[in-house]
Amino acid sequence: MDKSLLLDQVHELISNAETAQALDSVEAFLKADTRYKTLYREAVAISAIFQKTQRDEQKGVLSFENAGLRYSQINDRLLNLLDSIETDKLEPDGISAQPAKRYVARWWLLVIPLILIAGIFGGGYFFKKSPKQPNTGPACPRFEPTSEFNVMVLPYLLLSGGQDQPQALIVERLENLREKYKLNTSIQINQQFKPDRLLSYDSASIYGKRCNAKMVIWGRSEQAGSAKIIKTRFKFLGDEDAFAFTQLKWQGEKQVDTIKTLSSLVSQGDMTTDIEQVILLVLGVSAKETGNTETAIAALESLRTTDSTTLLVRNMMLADSYIGTGQNEKALSTYDTLLQVHPNYWLALNNRGFLLMENGDNLGAIDDFTTVLDKKQDSDVLIARAKAYQQSDQPLKAKTDYEAVIKIEPSRAPEVKKQLEETSRQVEVENNLIRQAPDVAVAPATKNEIWEISEANKKLGNYKDASRLLQKGIEANPKDPKFYASKIELLLQQGNKEEAASLFNEALANGIKREELFQLKPSIQKYYETRRQVILKRN
C-alpha cells in the first residue's frame, strides 16, 4: 500500500474510533518492509496495550473513565508512530532499535546503590553539583496577562522553500475577529521556533504547556505543480490534553443533566482545509471557551468543511453551544450530520439519544443507546435505555437493563429499585394475561382477545408470537388500523425499518389514515418525524 494512502486511511479510522482496525493496517504495512522493524515493534507494543485495555474493560476491572483515558493515550502513541512513518524517521526518540541486553541492566543494578550511598554520605553533594538540564525548547511569546484563551501559532514548515507565511495570515485574521467580537483572547506567533520537520503532537503539547497556551497551531506548506498545499495541525491543551464537551446523562431523579466529559478524540488532528476554515475553527473554540456562545455559534455555523476531523470538532462544539442555549432541535440536527461521517462516536450517539427521548422518540433513542452499549457497558446509558424501554411499552427489556445496572455497579441499586420493582410487576401482569388467554391457534378468539394477547407478547419481547397474531388480525380485519399500528411498532422495535415503512404504506393503500396510526401508536409518529429515516407516502 502507498504510504500516503495508509496515513489517510489510518487517520480516518482513528477519527471514527476504530483503533483496532487502524492498528491492524499499520502493523501490516510496517511488517512488509524490513526498514520499519523498529516501528513495527512499536506498533505491536501498542496493539498489546490496546488488547489488554479491551480485556480489562470487558472484565469490569477498568472503569469507563479510566478506559477512556487509556484509549486516548493509545491513540496519542499511535499518532506519534504515524508521524514517524510520514517523516521516514526509522529510529525515533523513545523507541529503541534493539532490546537492552541483560548484562547492561545488571551493571546499573550495581551502580544505582553506589550513587544512592554517595548521595546519603555526601549530604546530597552529587545531586546538587549535577549540571542543570538546558531548556531546549524555543522561547515563549508574550501573551496578554489578562487573556482567558492563549493561542500560540508556530511558523509553518516550508517544504518547497519560498517566503510563505500562512501563520501570519492566521494571526492577522484572528486579531481582526478578536476585536470585532471583543474576545478576551491572545494570539501570538512564536518567532523563535525554527521548524526543520513537521512537529509531533507530543512536542507541540510540551511547547504549548510551557508557554501557557490553550491551543497550538502549526503545519507545513508545499508546492505541488501550480497548486499550493497547506496542511495545518492543531492541539487543544487542558486537563489531560483533552477538550471538555457536554455529556447528557441521568442524575438521580432529575431526568437529564449535563456534565463535562473529556474527549481526547477531538483534542488534536490534521486539517487539510483552507486557512479561512482554520481561522473560523480557532475563533469558534476561543469564543466558546471564553463564554461568548453567540460568537462561537456564528463562527462554527459559517465553517464549511469536508475534512472529517475538522467536522468532528466543529459539530461537537456547535451542538454543545446549541444545548447550552436551549436550541435542542438544532443540536439534534448537528449530531445527525456528525454521525453520518463518524457513525460510532459514542458521545454524539449518547447526546442524540437523550435529545430524541426528550422529543418522545424512544425507539430512536434506543437505537443510539444500543450502539453505545455494544462498544462499552455504562450504567448511565443502561438507565437511559431502560427508561426509553419503559416509555415505549417494553417492560421486560427495561427490567433486564435495570438488573444489568445493579450487576455492573451495585452502588446504584437504591437508585433503580423503584423502577425495577415497577417493571417486574408489569412483566408479571403480561405473563398472567398470556397464561390465562385462550390458545387462538386451536380455539376461536375475538378481535379484542387477539389484540390483547399480541400486545402482551410484544411487551415481553415474544416477537414471533406477536407478529403471527398481528398478521392474523390484519388479514381478518384489513380496515382496522390498530393491528397495522401495532405491527409497524413491532417492526421498528426489532429494527426492521424498511419493512415497517412498507407496512405503513400498505395501510395507507387500504384506506387507513396516517393520523389514525399515529394516534394509536404515537411512537411511530415520533420515530418518523424526528428521524426522517424513510419517506412515507401521504394520503
3-state class of 530 per DSSP?
Answer: helix
Question: In the prediction, which pLDDT does 100 show?
Answer: 40
Q: Which is it for the CA torsion 18, 21, 25, 27, positive or negative?
A: positive
Report how far residue 16's alpha carbon sits from residue 205's, in angstroms, rounded to the nearest whole number.
Answer: 23
pLDDT score of 507: 93
DSSP 189: E
Distance CA 403, CA 383 (A): 10
Domain parsing of the chain, residue ranges: 3-86, 149-325, 389-531
Band (pLDDT 50/70/90 cuts) for residue 106 is very low
The matching CATH number, chosen from 1.10.3470, 1.25.40, 3.40.50, 1.20.120, for 389-531 is 1.25.40
Say if residue 59 is exposed, middle or buried (CB neighbours under 10 Å; 0-12, 13-18, 19+).
Answer: exposed
pLDDT tens by residue, 276-332: 677 777 778 778 777 888 888 988 888 887 767 778 888 888 998 999 889 999 999
Half-sphere CA count of 44, side-chain side, radius 13 A: 8
CB-neighbour burial class of residue 94 (10 A; exposed 0-12, middle 13-18, buried 19+)? exposed
Residue 432 has a pLDDT of 92
Counting beta carbons within 10 angstroms of the beta carbon of residue 253, is it exposed (0 to 12), middle (13 to 18) or buried (19 or more)?
exposed
State the Cα–Cα distance between residues 509 and 502, nearest whole angstrom: 11
C-alpha of 357 from chain center: 19
Q: Which pTM value belongs to this model?
A: 0.64
| Cα 454 to Cα 474: distance, rounded to the nearest angstrom | 12
Q: Which residue has the cell 427521548?
A: 357
Task: Please work out, in degrees rounded to the nearest 5, the angle formed at the alpha carbon of residue 74 by the alpha carbons of 73 and 79.
Answer: 95
Q: Which range among 26-30, 221-225, 231-235 shows the weakest confidence by mean pLDDT?
A: 221-225
d(CA 457, CA 469): 9
Distance from C-alpha of 196 to C-alpha of 69, rounded to nearest angstrom: 32
Calpha distance 138→155 (Å, rounded):
12
Region of poorest pLDDT, from 72-76, 112-116, 477-481, 514-518: 112-116
Q: Does residue 515 surpass a pLDDT of 80?
A: yes
Task: Please return the burial class of 145, using the count of CB atoms within 10 Å of its CB with bins 0-12, 13-18 and 19+.
Answer: exposed
What distance in Å separates the CA atoms of residue 149 and residue 156, rounded to the nearest whole number? 22
pLDDT band, residue 532 (cuts 50/70/90):
very low
Q: Given this model, what pLDDT does residue 123 score? A: 40
Q: Which residue has the cell 408479571?
A: 428
Report the topology of domain 149-325.
Rossmann fold (3.40.50)
Hey, do 149-325 and 389-531 end up sharing a CATH topology, with the first three levels equal? Answer: no
pLDDT digits (tens, 9 = 90+) for 130-159: 333 334 456 899 999 998 889 899 999 988
Answer yes or no: is pLDDT of 72 > 60.
Answer: yes
- In this predicted model, what pLDDT tens digit does every residue of 455-501 receive, in sequence order? 999 999 999 999 999 998 899 888 999 999 999 999 999 989 889 98
Residue 471 to residue 475: CA distance in whole angstroms? 6
Amino acid at the residue 383: I
